Amino acid sequence: MHRDERNEVVEIAADMATGVSRREFFQLAGTGLFIFFATDPMAAFQEPSRLPGRPSYPTDFNAYLRIGGDSRVTCFVGKVELGQGSKTALAQLVADELDVSLDSVDMVMGDTDLCPWDMGTFGSLTIRQFGPVLRGAAAEARAVLLQMSADYLHLPSVEQLRVKDGVVTCAQDEHKTVSYAKLVEGKRIERHLDKVPVKAVSAFTVIGKAPRRKDALEKVTGRARYAGDMTPPGTLHARILRPPAHGATVKEFDTAVAEKIPGVRVIRDGEMIAVLHEQPDIADRALGLIRARFEPPQPSEDDRTIFDHLLKAAPPLQMVDEKGSLAEGEKLATRVVEETYLNSYVAHAAMETHSAVAAIEGGKLTVWASTQTPFPVRQQLAQAVGFTPENVRVITPYVGGGFGGKSASRQAVEAARLAKITGKPVQVVWDRAEEFFYDTFRPAAVVKIRSGQNDAGKLLLWDYRVYCAGEREARQFYDIPHQRTQSAGGWGGGNPPGLHPFAVGPWRAPSVNTNTFARESHIDILASKLGRDPLEFRLAHLSHPRMRRVLLAATNQFGWKPAPGPSGRGVGLACATDVGTYVATVAEVAVNKSTGNVEVKRVVCAQDQGVTVNPDGSRQQMEGSMTMGMGYALAEEVHFKDGAVLDRNFDTYQIPRFSWLPRIETILIENPETPASGCGEPPITTMGAVVANAIFDATGARLRQLPMTPARLKAALRQG
Amino acid sequence: MRRSISFMLNGKPVQLTVDDDRMLLWVLRYDLGLTGTKFGCGAALCGSCTVIVNDEAVRSCITPVKEIAGKRVLTIEGLSTNGHLHPIQEAFLNHHAFQCGYCTPGMIVNAYALLLKKAHPTREEIIRHMDDNLCRCGSHTRIVDAILEAAGSTKGGA
Ligand code: FES
Ligand code: FES
């Protein structure tokens, strides 16, 4: 049966006092077998211990497993379920190593009171970093339980023991049997993970299968709860007065009319002016009645002038990679091609807007938040309301999409401040305009490439400079003897003030979309200038076996027929690396030259991500990646001027929809020898280039700026 | 205007005293506690808030409660009967036609409206009917397959 994990969480929570010390924690967590482990060697040191207040958890582990006397295995991790399926995939890892059924594994995720510290869920890190250690922990647990079984059954060693579904049996005498639950009943056993061999890939029974997702039933019945679905008794809903532009300041405001609505409360706290009511729509109505005058900010960039500004204002270039000598390359090169590639700001636009509910009871603040970073948010909240972190609990229910955009969680702080002032639970759910306004966009970026070849077309020189996107995967993977890769600025911190007119941040596969669009467009340009087939030209410069394999797999399945572009067929390809995963995509498009509309008809993507934990989950992520990637390729672009974000809803900001849907085919390369790497992001990185290359193949028009809107395509067609 | 409004909700009569200009979405979610219906845009641009009113799919974020007086409203919570999932829910489950799941109630409910009108839609008809329901996770291809399966239509449509 499906167990209501929320209830379980609440039960455990009831046991746990605020602010537990290590010793208290060990006592409070109850009986059973506990395996504590760190998810990566650095994890333990990432807790910002210098912040006020002592972290409530021991710092030498950041996840643990409990095998309880109730036959349940519970895994407590600070990661969150954003839709990527990690709740299922992580449970599969545990089930396989422990030899228990998947159904008996519960995941408690993203709750700062119940789970040890974790830096956040992003960058396809969950399985890649977490997988091996989680498996190790489960294997350790199994080893401990086997030893206990041998003692219990009076057997000289564990050799003869077999385990199935959490029941240990002696192979020679099937009457000698005992369950995990029985072994740990009423006991308290603690182990810290040392080094334990994990199972060989060939012994997996749960990993590599595609069981029903653990969140499936709740999600198809509407029972899955998100932060905005939480309404503790007495909840007030807050709407907050927002400036019309970043940098605008409120000069005058009049709330008299708004306050006439029965039940409305207006609160001013520092720069925040909020309207609260028991019903969110009435709070919203009242907000609309506030008259306010804002002083506009200094005029600044808009979505056309931004690229020149970025080149001028970017911090100095930093070396990312260097091989051979550029001077030597310049000497040898007889054909030099220089190009510039641009991409616009792009929004995350998850369907769930930033939401949070904050409630203070007995000096303790509890916040349910849609966030990718519950633990950092706890610190932020503690500072904002002046509580110690021990007295702040962040609970992350299901999150309605993140894509990097829910790393920042301003809404949680707003809810907490208002809850403190009103003494009531306060819910803050952003509307779509707020979501666009405060989004941490994927940065607009510029890439400049200077390449050189000899008369035979061999690439000898590659000088690559990326501005403002970040260096992830900027490094060249084609074989080029003389090359240099440099990067200036990025999506993270450290940019000079004023570089961007609003916040920027990680966006699904940060940096990699920009870098792959530039590199793979450029390689295609070089191939077509030489009259060579784009696949053959790539293979001639690629020795990496995994990259060659994905390229060949994707093109084989597609039925790639060699021809130099533009062939008029509208086919294109692109390949990429993304944190250890190799991916190649082939696309076919149809271009309407009079409207400038592009229809993507078919996309075939091959991915090598090492071990596949859950093939269906991986395919889901690949399909989602490709579908989402059509947006930044063809339509998504944030319009702005003088600090105002002009896109406020899905009318002007178009995201992919059913009618855009191509035929999607996914290929998972079997590579069980290589540890699992990320699968949630790689295909999206190829979508800009693969569509650009297919458009070129269809029309001969080369687009060097994303998104490739009908207007840009028509302009490129006019230029011929 | 504040007044008493009666309607059928998931097969049961409901009577409420509310400001009748308020949008059904908020009344469902916060007055009646049916949080399966989601807010995504507030402007009939995303479909997250889709519910059925007298057999038609409507956007509850722009539907004032006065318009549903005396009508039948069906939400995601009302689709399964006696613990049995509706075939569309089964199909979404089997195909894993969701990721974050936030758009899912609106998708399922809108698909339900389609199948009421047309028991065996083609792939193209499904796409046309579903086109204004947005999904950021990119579950579209599985959603189409799930609806085809629920409708018992041959895969690939006409
Ligand atoms: S919330 Fe109603 S259509 Fe988006
Ligand atoms: S499943 Fe996340 S928006 Fe559709």
All domains in chain A, ordered by first residue:
8-221 (3.30.365.10), 234-301 (3.90.1170.50), 314-345+441-718 (3.30.365.10), 354-429 (3.30.365.10)
Look at chain B and count its residues.
Answer: 158
pLDDT at A22 (0 to 100): 47
Distance of CA A330 to the CA centre of its chain: 40
The angle formed by the CA atoms of residues B137, A625 and B45, to the nearest 5 degrees, is: 35
Q: What are the residue ranges of CATH 1.10.150.120 in chain B?
A: 87-153
Residue A53 pLDDT more than 80? no
pLDDT at B80 (0 to 100): 92
Name the residue at shortest CA distance from atom 4 of ligand 2.
Answer: B135
**Selected residues 66-95 of chain B with any CB under 8 Å from a CB in chain A:** 75-77, 79-80, 85, 89, 92-93
Out of A351, A658, A661, the one facing B102 most closely (by C-beta) is A351
> The CATH number of B2-76 is which of 3.30.70.270, 3.30.70.260, 3.90.650.10, 3.10.20.30?
3.10.20.30
Task: Give yes or no for a contact between A588 and A571, defined as CB atoms under 8 angstroms apart.
Answer: yes
pLDDT at A692 (0 to 100): 98
Task: Give yes or no for a contact between A63 and A126, defined as CB atoms under 8 angstroms apart.
Answer: no
Measured distance CA(A401)–CA(A420) in Å, rounded = 28
User: Residue A61's pLDDT band (boundaries 50, 70, 90)?
Assistant: low
Domain covering B87-153 in this structure, CATH number: 1.10.150.120
Distance B50 CA to ligand 1 centre (A): 7
**A302 interfacial to chain B (CB closer than 8 Å):** no
Residue A171: CB atoms within 10 Å: 10
Residue A610 pLDDT more than 80? yes
Residue found under tokens 């050189």:
A452
pLDDT at A8 (0 to 100): 32
Residue B83 pLDDT more than 90? no
User: If you average pLDDT over residues A478-483, what whole number do you get?
Assistant: 98
Beta bridge partners of B18: B3
Q: Give pLDDT tens digits for A397-409.
A: 999 999 999 998 9
Q: What are the residue ranges of CATH 3.10.20.30 in chain B?
A: 2-76
User: Residue A1's pLDDT band (boundaries 50, 70, 90)?
Assistant: very low
pTM for this structure? Answer: 0.92
Three-class DSSP category at A327: helix
**A217 interfacial to chain B (CB closer than 8 Å):** yes
Measured distance CA(A256)–CA(A252) in Å, rounded = 13
Per-residue CA distances from A104 to A71, A144, A181, A665, B156 (Å):
7, 19, 11, 33, 37
- A118's tokens: 């974790």
User: Residue A29's pLDDT band (boundaries 50, 70, 90)?
Assistant: low
Q: Name the DSSP class of A405.
A: T
C-alpha closest to that of A424 among A340, A351, A359 = A359
The angle formed by the CA atoms of residues A528, A533 and A537, to the nearest 5 degrees, is: 85
- A314's tokens: 């970017």
Beta bridge partners of A395: A111, A368
Nearest CA in chain A to B75: A222
The mean-pLDDT minimum among A48-62, A568-582, A670-684, B33-47 falls in A48-62
C-alpha closest to that of B100 among A626, A366, A227, A345 = A227
User: If you average pLDDT over residues A538-543, what whole number do you get?
Assistant: 98
- Determine, for residues A658 and B130 on separate chains, whether the beta-carbon distance falls below 8 Å: yes
pLDDT at A512 (0 to 100): 97
- Determine, for residues B93 and A217 on separate chains, whether the beta-carbon distance falls below 8 Å: yes
User: If you average pLDDT over residues A137-152, what whole number do you get?
Assistant: 90
Distance A349 CA to ligand 2 centre (A): 11
User: If you average pLDDT over residues A209-214, what whole number do you get?
Assistant: 86
pLDDT at A125 (0 to 100): 58
Residue A58 pLDDT more than 70? no
pLDDT at A604 (0 to 100): 98
**Selected residues 42-71 of chain B with any CB under 8 Å from a CB in chain A:** 42-43, 45-46, 48
The mean-pLDDT minimum among A139-143, A289-293, A636-640, B15-19 falls in A139-143
pLDDT at A63 (0 to 100): 66
Measured distance CA(A539)–CA(A543) in Å, rounded = 8
- A195's tokens: 């080094």
